[in-house]
Amino acid sequence: MRSVEQNAFLAMIVAISLALAWILWPFYGAILWGTIIAVLFAPLHREMVRLLGGRRNLAAFFTVFIIVAIVILPSTLIGVSLAREAVGIYGKLQLGEIDFARFFRQIQEVLPGWVTNLLDHFGVASLGELQEKLSAGLVSGSQYIATQALTIGQGTFDFVVNLFVMLYLLFFVLRDEAKLSKRIRDAIPLLTEHKQDFLNRFTIVIRATVKGDLLVALLQGTLGGLIFWFLGISAPLLWGVVMAFFSLLPAIGAGLIWAPVAIYLLASGAVWQGIILIAFGALVIGLVDNFLRPLLVGKDTKMPDYIVLISTLGGIATFGLNGFVVGPVIAALFIAAWDIFTASRQSVGADGTEQ
């Protein structure tokens, strides 16, 4: 049994750790992405250390510079362009240039009779009701955008602060990678084999989630945005980002965006554009996941689609956009912990001795 002093010391460690987590919580996004990027670019940093003759400070500096050049700056430029397109779409909604009621009316005109009857049965096919719901949605959207406009200055300041914290942390995590890894391994109170297995799975999941899922989503969103631009559909960057977001969700995918747009094109008389979009969406965008994900992730690291879907949605609902990484990582670590526990139990016989 532990002594009173040992219990008090353990309680003090837990309390201090919780206090530190509470203090750092406002920057959890910056800390999360600093850690994730460090894990992803650790091989590049090791190569830089080798090329620079072991000068870890200089290697970390050049690695962060490369990350800023190929990740941070392009993401910022895309974000600015995306904001402009979103404002443009909102302006068209206010001026009535985008008429959702006309969109649904054109869809209804080409729907089969049994589909229209089914919609009538559920009270969905009434144009007056649709227009009323659309008006209410536009009012809600106006209120949301007005609220965001009031806080945009504070949001910009928060973004700059979090970016600085992320890059600052990234530099030192890359530079002190070996020391930090050793200290974490030494501090985890698990058996050596369990500890190594757990940390290995954590690294694999981080790389699989970001390198696999995120890159596949970015590629699908890019392809979707390009085909929208080629077909002359307004705000292709905005729709490309939306498709990339939905591509993170297994069994849903970018088809939730391009398929309704293709139906609208067919219904509005743009038959060839609709056919091209359907063919490109099904044969190019839809097949990217099947061919590219196994190359980037590997079959051994892929979780079941239903777990990825639920954990991604739950992560986004709890942590915002950061949740698309946090959710699957927590789910994967949960599975890893129980796999390790089950394996350790199976290695012990019924009499309590190891088999």
**In a domain? residue 166:** no
**In a domain? residue 266:** yes
Indicate whether 61 pLDDT > 90. Answer: yes
* Cα–Cα distance for residue pair 68/41, rounded to 1 Å: 12
Q: What is the pLDDT of residue 129?
A: 56
Name the residue range of residue 212's domain. 187-347
**In a domain? residue 269:** yes
**In a domain? residue 139:** no
pTM: 0.67
**Which of the residue ranges 21-25, 102-106, 125-129 would you say has the lowest mean pLDDT?**
125-129
**In a domain? residue 102:** no
Number of domains in the chain: 1
The arithmetic mean of pLDDT across residues 96-101, rounded, is 59
| CA angle at 90 for the pair 87 and 95, rounded to the nearest 5° | 125
**In a domain? residue 108:** no
The predicted-structure confidence for 201-211, as pLDDT tens digits, reads as follows: 777 777 676 66
* Cα–Cα distance for residue pair 57/291, rounded to 1 Å: 39
Indicate whether 132 pLDDT > 50. Answer: yes
Q: What is the pLDDT of residue 100?
A: 56
The predicted-structure confidence for 150-171, as pLDDT tens digits, reads as follows: 454 445 677 788 888 999 999 9
Q: What is the pLDDT of residue 351?
A: 47
Strand partners, 354: 348
Average pLDDT, the chain: 75
Residue 275 · residue 217 · CB < 8 Å: no
Which long-range CB contacts under 8 A does 213-217 form with residues at least 24 apart? 213/248, 213/293, 213/297, 213/308, 213/324, 213/328, 214/248, 215/292, 215/296, 216/247, 216/288, 216/289, 216/292, 216/293, 216/296, 217/244, 217/245, 217/247, 217/248
Q: Measure Cα distances from 88 to 43, 95, 153, 235 in Å.
A: 42, 11, 20, 8
The model's confidence at residue 234, banded by pLDDT at 50, 70 and 90, is confident
